Amino acid sequence: MITLERVGKRFRDAVAVDDLSLVVRPGQVTGFLGPNGAGKSTTMRMVMGLDRPTSGRALVAGRPYAELRDPLREVGALLDAKALHPGRSARNHLRALARTHRIPVRRVDEVLDVVGLTEAAGRRAGTFSLGMGQRLGIAAALIGDPGVLVFDEPVNGLDPDGVLWVRGLIRSLAAEGRTVFVSSHLMSEMQVTADQLVVIGRGRLLADAPLADVLAGAHGAGVTVRGPELRLLAEALADGGARVRDEGDRLAVVGASLEDVGRCAHRLGVLLYELSPAQASLEDAYMELTAEAVQYGGTR
């Protein structure tokens, strides 16, 4: 488990993280979202002991990273896939990590196989493509078989097959009861991967909730109704306080449940071809949450 207790981080006059408290729990994938400059990478670096909080505490399994006796066995991280010696082979890079924690050499070949780099194990890491470097970084995170995993943009540079593989790996790690904390700018990927979402903007917490709750709270969530004549139904629903958008042969209804719309249509004798829940996309929900927190915006 990862725990942040009122964590703050300042760089001179700039506030990177501001009084951030949250708990990243085991057995689920927690997606970590926010605009550029929101403080995501700084937060992950504080979890991993690479940046010292200006205030508060960042804990792994109840302790600061610096106090972990065998950190690679407790927490694995992919924060920067290029943070390695480019002249070492992939296998030797992992062997060096394993030796620091008395991890058996056989574990090196195991994780190389997991990430699909067995055939490239003897190649110098500096010759790897971006996607191969990401796979090697994931192997390094897994080397100690840790219970906590922190991934910063793990699908960066991967092709579609690689993205699908990372998604399956992350889900399987959480299913084993591990704590999995993942940042990404790919909303479509987070929507099919994460169970819990943490959203920050300008260093402050904007949301910490199950994915389903975040989607349900977005403006695009509601009910879709389709039929040949929907005017009476639209008027009745609007009179009842729902927000109704007429899209020709269909209505988009927000503020009324599926059951409420069905009962209203039945009472009015309105023929329906479709009555179904409409869910906002994670991109829609994210844009609403971060609308006032974008630090580096542009013009169109």
Identify the domain containing residue 58 by its residue range. 2-216
- Of the candidates 216, 236, 255, which is a domain's last residue? 216
Residue type, 114: V
**Confidence band for 209, pLDDT divided at 50, 70 and 90:** very high
Q: What mean pLDDT is reported for the chain?
A: 92
- Domain C-terminal end among 216, 241, 258: 216
Q: What is the torsion angle, in degrees rounded to the nearest 10, for the CA atoms of residue 254, residue 260, residue 262 and residue 266?
A: -130
Report yes or no: 32 and 207 within 8 Å, Cβ to Cβ: no
What pLDDT sits at residue 13? 85
Judged by average pLDDT, the poorest of 118-127, 241-250, 289-298 is 289-298
**C-beta of residue 60 within 8 angstroms of C-beta of residue 2:** yes
Q: What's the domain count of the chain?
A: 2
What is the Cα–Cα distance from 31 to 205, expressed in whole angstroms?
13
Residue 10 lies in a domain: yes
Q: What is the DSSP string of 192-238?
A: HH-SEEEEEETTEEEEEEEHHHHHHTSTT-EEEEE-S--HHHHHHHH
What is the CB-side half-sphere exposure of residue 274 using CA atoms within 13 A?
12
Shared-domain flag, residues 126 and 269: no
Q: How do residues 63-97 score in pLDDT, each as one tens digit? A: 999 999 999 999 999 998 888 889 999 999 999 99
d(CA 32, CA 157): 19
Supply the pLDDT for residue 254.
82
Residue 286 lies in a domain: no
Same domain assignment for residues 45 and 164: yes
CA distance 266 to 273: 13
Identify the sign of the CA torsion 93, 99, 101, 102: positive
Q: What is the pLDDT of residue 281?
A: 81
Residues 232 and 201 in one domain: no
Query: How confident is the model at residue 299, as a pLDDT?
Result: 46
Instruction: Give yes or no: residues 6 and 112 share one domain.
Output: yes
Query: 56 with 28, same domain?
Result: yes
Instruction: Kindly tell me if the per-residue pLDDT of 247 is higher than 90.
Output: no
List the CATH number of the domain containing 13: 3.40.50.300
Q: Are residues 107 and 137 in the same domain?
A: yes
- Give the end of a domain, one of 163, 193, 216: 216
Residue 27 lies in a domain: yes
For residue 56, the model assigns a pLDDT of 96
pLDDT confidence of 300, banded at 50, 70, 90?
Answer: very low
| CA–CA distance, 24 with 189 (Å, rounded to integer) | 19
Would 299 be classed as within a structural domain? no
Decide if 135 is inside a domain. Answer: yes
Q: Is residue 296, in this structure, part of any structural domain at all?
A: no
Based on the domain organization, do 229 and 177 belong to the same domain?
Answer: no
Same domain? 195 vs 226? no
Residues 212 and 228 in one domain: no
Residues 65 and 81 occupy one common structural domain = yes
Token pair recorded at residue 116:
């699909």
State the number of CA atoms in the 13 A half-sphere of 56 facing the CB: 21
Residue at 66 is within a domain: yes
Residues 129 and 249 in one domain: no
Q: What is the pLDDT of residue 218?
A: 72
Rounded Cα distance, 36 and 298, in Å? 12
Q: Are 57 and 47 in contact (CB under 8 A)?
A: no
Q: Sorting pLDDT into bands at 50, 70 and 90, what band is 296? A: low
CATH, residue 259: 3.30.70
Q: Look at residue 221 and tell me whether its pLDDT is greater than 50.
A: yes
Once rounded to an integer, what is the mean pLDDT over residues 2-16?
94
Predicted confidence (pLDDT) per residue in 47-69, tens digit: 999 999 999 999 999 999 999 99
CB atoms within 10 A of CB 255: 14
Token pair 């904390």 is found at 181
User: Is residue 292 domain-resident?
Assistant: no
198 shares its domain with 258: no
Q: Confidence class of residue 183 from pLDDT cuts 50, 70 and 90? A: very high
